[in-house]
Amino acid sequence: MTERVSFYVDGFNLYFGLKSKFQNLKWLNLEVLAESYLKEHQKVEEIKYFTARVAGDPAKEKRQRTYLDALQTTKTQLIYGHYKSKAKSCHSCGHSWRDNEEKMTDVNIATHMIMDAVNDKYDVAFLISGDSDLVPPIKAIRNHYKQKRVIVGFPPDRVNSTVKNAASGILHIGRRNLAASQFSDTVKSVTGYVLKRPKDWY
């Protein structure tokens, strides 16, 4: 029997893992990557990429937009949270500044994983993230849907023992699969524009 596998990709968690270890492998075709982890009796049901549009830096915005446009040429679905500017300060020196952070990604991932389980959209949920905030939905799915499995693929430098203990199984997203899953240097967008691999990333 063919096993349905749905992929849930924590965009920022994956991105920063790649940035810390494989800086040159961020031009990543998630559909090809997903298929590289399938077994013979499995098929990709859905690929969902959770992210937020960066703001406040036109160059970063353009680079991210280029990548998101490239992803849209594949079967990857994009689910957006928010990118929020937040005031921060140093208690020691009194210096203040504004920092940006993405919001809602964890909630969006948890909601989609659980609702897709409820609606029987997969047999295996393949989560690409090392974020411990996702332990509750992993446990909820495993406890309430005994026949379903949650496999976690840890991005580079994002291994988390709490997540590991909650999952049905784990693996590490490694250089070999990443290198073999890159887009071509140029990709034609769904609207016909030529997208070029960004030289620098945010």
- DSSP collapsed to 3 states, 126-137: EEECCCHHHHHH
Predicted confidence at residue 90, as pLDDT, reads: 63
Q: What is the rounded CA–CA span in Å between residue 28 and residue 182? A: 5
Q: What is the rounded CA–CA span in Å between residue 199 and residue 125? A: 33
Q: What is the rounded CA–CA span in Å between residue 24 and residue 10? A: 19
pLDDT in tens, 107-147: 999 999 999 999 999 999 999 999 999 999 999 999 999 99
Ranges under pLDDT 50 in the chain: 97
Predicted confidence at residue 56, as pLDDT, reads: 80
Note whether 128 and 173 are within 8 A (CB). yes
Predicted confidence at residue 92, as pLDDT, reads: 73
Number of Cβ within 10 Å of residue 7's Cβ equals 26
Predicted confidence at residue 104, as pLDDT, reads: 86
pLDDT in tens, 82-99: 766 555 566 677 665 455
Predicted confidence at residue 21, as pLDDT, reads: 94
Question: Domains in the chain and their CATH numbers?
Answer: 3-85+99-196 (3.40.50.1010)
**Whose CA is closest to 130, among 16, 31, 36?**
16
C-alpha to C-alpha distances, 103 to 12, 66, 109, 175, 193, nearest whole angstrom: 11, 21, 12, 29, 30
Predicted confidence at residue 57, as pLDDT, reads: 82
Q: Is the dihedral of CA 15, 103, 47, 146 positive or negative?
A: positive
Whether the pTM exceeds 0.95: the reply is no
Query: Which residues fall within 8 angstroms of residue 30, CB to CB, at 6 or more apart?
Result: 7, 9, 47, 49, 71, 74, 76, 181
Longest CA pairwise span in the chain (Å): 63
